[in-house]
Structure 1
């Protein structure tokens, strides 16, 4: 029997998709499926006030707790170092935003539901 060993190489261009969290709660894996951070957040039912589509820039201004973003469109409003406009940016690293995760679809481990996390009481 002949075994052919091949050397595996990895494309260094491929990077891990950033995890976007809200107040420390992981909500989404930003895998370039959406054009902007705002669209990805809206898809996960995150409550983000925005007037971008109505011509008012700056309404979606959000505080960044940690992480970084890059802009595909130059923001029209002045931002502090710890702020971003989700409508015109994408995360470049894991990102934690000062937004409430309440009511949105949060990330859970596959195959685990809330009912499975609760430990049943055993009879003694």
Structure 2
């Protein structure tokens, strides 16, 4: 199990391997994020990956810069720290 730490919160959670992606996992744990398409097209769920590595079940079509991830199609490969934009 990987630990997911959200910057600027007191949240440090164990990622459930039965969750399909980080977006679903965060929603389950009542952590608000921006999202729209849920399929890697729009990039609305983009956030900063502060540390760690993720894997994509499907390669996102939205542009993703180095150091960013799309929550809707990523799962952690190890302990990660993410910075979710405020909205």
TM-score between both structures, scaled by the size of structure 1: 0.61
Higher relative contact order (CA closer than 8 Å, sequence separation 6+): 2
**Shift in CA distance, 55/19, structure 1 to aligned 2, threshold 3 Å:** closer
Q: When the two structures are aligned, how many residues end up with a matched partner?
A: 84
Match status 1:18 vs 2:38: no
Q: CA RMSD in A?
A: 2.1
Consecutive unaligned residues in structure 2, runs of 5 or more: none
Which structure has the bigger radius of gyration? 1
CA shift, 1:57, in A, is 1.6
The structure that is strand-richer by fraction is 2
**Shift in CA distance, 68/32, structure 1 to aligned 2, threshold 3 Å:** same
TM-score between both structures, scaled by the size of structure 2: 0.85
Consecutive unaligned residues in structure 1, runs of 5 or more: 1-16, 101-124
